[in-house]
Structure 1
């Protein structure tokens, strides 16, 4: 068993996973250099480099106000290590990011599983890692925001559980750690503010019973303020206000809400067609249009939402049509069929990957149904005791549904499914139930596959090449 307290096994597992991520980067590494310079990851990396462009560290050299400060600080640190230790910023990124991802899969996720009352062994962790690499290997190749935000939220969840078991000054320390992680997750991806609220409310409720709420909440506030210092400095310098918010991100949110009605999903395309079509403005991507959403906007003459309130009123006036749009968004969010992330061949065969994905989703759904239908005391207890943990991970994903669907926004949702499947399959009673009624499961799988296949087929038929939804360079 992979026990968190066994340092030797943990270090060995980190080493094995670290090598896996190094090999992944070495195999696909050239794609980083080939991607267009306007992609998000280039922006994040360049912002990190800019912290040192005057020959020394300075926050005031951050040029783009649309992104928070935490991610550039992380990638700036990787750049500095690469430039000064390895004499190569690329090697610095590969080594540092591989170590972070190895710790995520070898330490943080097992600890998260353990604190849910489950056991995690090397086979479970290997299964979760393999599924992540099969469907999402591209997300580990580029300096993006999604895995980092997810990492901070998982650490906050683990610290929250730890805080319940300690008294005295340790609660203040855990509270500070929770606050730092929550603000970092929010600053990296603003949609994680919903997860932050859930964790803060949970920390207050759970610690009231133990009369430790003051220490934990004081720690939360202190942690948030400590982590927010770089953003406060930037806000004062650029906008003249003292604030912990990423002020300029609001325009991006409004843009995503509008494009959420126009497209069912959005992919970043870096192939030859886009290069030829977009010679004048090479910010090319692929969208899969939603005719109903486009018709809704045209019918009311909406070219942009001026405020969040206007958006909600629009949704209320067209409630059932909007629900249909969101359902199509959700179903598309369950189909990670472009694991490379930056796509060179949009039309390549995706059948096997889609089928495997539906198998994983079916198994995850069946394990939940099994726990509820057969009143499995073990699984029911896990679901009840960890309902809030699940919501903390799922709410940011659900909050992304109204916007333009980019599959990487839903990476945490799929990792949660992989955890559920890996842990469930290791259960003897679940395996026995599946094997004993395999023919019934084949029939149910076919019934589940059909509606997904129809909607996905309709989505892919609406593909077209367009100028990127948003150029991060302005």
Structure 2
């Protein structure tokens, strides 16, 4: 996986990856128009719609934005395309596809492999078969997400870009850019706020930098974050009377007035949640029920969670129950059954995609077992934490696969980038090969069993994997 870091050189330059980026861009531009979707849906069309909020009565201003649930930045990035769409009458999904293709090409083709490379501290670019394998896995598991103007991938790419900037030569301009990316990821996906302390620690541990330079770097990091958060602060003061730069995540219609706390309540009842366009199913939400969670809610007479303290007290009273709940959320969040956020046909075989997914998990586990974690630097641990800790706040929620996107892509990267180039099956003893093969069969069988149990809990009609 990761190895002791030495100072990276210009090997992570975009020029080294541009041909692969172009190939991936072409693949998505060709594929997405034939992926079966005619328009935007639900959250995607909501982001597209609210992007026009910056325009009001002939004026364009940050202060016109008046959505209390979502941060301003992602709608602002969509705003120019929304204006073009207004004057050209081109369907919004066309813009979604073009933007999605660019996002996939840059993320899978450059950013992810470049970040892996520099965190390892190696100057040489990853070999192209490894990079293409990673892009192919991204296509297999996530391809239809790039039809839609959803925030999941842009937020993760910005988080990764910020980490990449922190590994550039220590010019303060790069550190300012890293701080801006960190804050941008948070503004787009508020759960990413938990990564901020790790950004600060990574900057503090910058190699070959004296104490004064470290302090200047911290100031530059905070300056970059402030540049992104200042407009949100101004919007909150002007529109909602709130003197804060945070995303409010506030909906008046909710009894809790807080989206996250609302989803924590439903997270007790749902072990997984999917969104469907299949009209043969009686609801747009595919709820996979959690029997243990339902029993807990009944026994504790839970209606709404009035505070986070109430939730933590509940966890302390039922630690074993919550261990099971969180284990099911983790499994189901990684158990990708459809490569889309909006499922067109529920009752179709997903056996092949599930098998590929479990194989990736097993391969990543093998890579982790052979990795000498004692050789990792503190800075490498901090990078890993910055990428993965945003997954932790997702475990108490109604789980969707996109919520664990950073973890899933890391598993794919471990297999594609971490597999030893010198490995040959002939060099492995027959006994060890048989043991690994047996472990693989047992592991995949257990995964299918757990997944089948979850799919059988679908609220309005159990489904199978085949």
TM-score by length of 2: 0.87
Runs of 4+ in 1 over 6 A off after TM superposition: none
Q: Which residue of structure 2 aligns with residue 146 of structure 1?
A: 152
Contact map agreement 1:264 1:329 (CA 8 A) in 2? yes
CA offset at residue 383 of structure 1?
7.7
Report Cα offsets for 1:404-458 as digits up to 9, x if no partner.
Answer: 1010111111111111101233521376666964432220012212332222111
* 1:214 to 2:222 alignment: no
- Cα gap change, 1:26/1:3 in structure 2, threshold over 3 Å: closer, same or farther? farther
Distance in 2 separating the partners of 1:89 and 1:306: 39
Distance in 1 separating the partners of 2:350 and 2:330: 19
* 1:387 to 2:388 alignment: no
Q: Which residue of structure 2 aligns with residue 376 of structure 1?
A: none
1:100 to 97, 100, 103: 103
1:65 to 37, 54, 68: 68
- Cα gap change, 1:431/1:64 in structure 2, threshold over 3 Å: closer, same or farther? farther
Distance in 2 separating the partners of 1:358 and 1:296: 30
* 1:427 to 2:421 alignment: yes
* 1:12 to 2:6 alignment: no
Q: Which residue of structure 2 aligns with residue 265 of structure 1?
A: 272
Q: Which residue of structure 2 aligns with residue 287 of structure 1?
A: 287
- Cα gap change, 1:32/1:310 in structure 2, threshold over 3 Å: closer, same or farther? farther
* 1:361 to 2:364 alignment: no
Contact map agreement 2:131 2:417 (CA 8 A) in 1? no
Any unmatched runs of 5+ in structure 2? 1-9, 251-256, 462-466
- Cα gap change, 1:430/1:333 in structure 2, threshold over 3 Å: closer, same or farther? farther
User: SS of 1:348's equivalent?
Assistant: coil
Any unmatched runs of 5+ in structure 1? 279-283, 373-378, 467-474
Distance in 1 separating the partners of 2:220 and 2:305: 38
- Aligned-residue RMSD, C-alpha: 2.6
Q: Which residue of structure 1 aligns with residue 394 of structure 2?
A: 400
User: SS of 1:295's equivalent?
Assistant: helix
CA offset at residue 380 of structure 1?
6.0
TM-score by length of 1: 0.86
CA offset at residue 128 of structure 1?
0.8
Q: Which residue of structure 2 aligns with residue 256 of structure 1?
A: 263
Q: Which residue of structure 1 aligns with residue 186 of structure 2?
A: 186
2:127 to 121, 128, 138: 121
- After superposition, residues 127-166 of structure 1 pair within 5 angstroms as 127-162=133-168, 165-166=169-170
CA offset at residue 185 of structure 1?
0.8
* 1:442 to 2:442 alignment: no
User: SS of 1:429's equivalent?
Assistant: coil
CA offset at residue 182 of structure 1?
0.9
CA offset at residue 304 of structure 1?
0.9
Contact map agreement 2:103 2:153 (CA 8 A) in 1? no
- After superposition, residues 241-390 of structure 1 pair within 5 angstroms as 241-249=242-250, 251-274=258-281, 277=282, 284-372=284-372, 381=375, 386-390=380-384
Number of aligned residues: 441
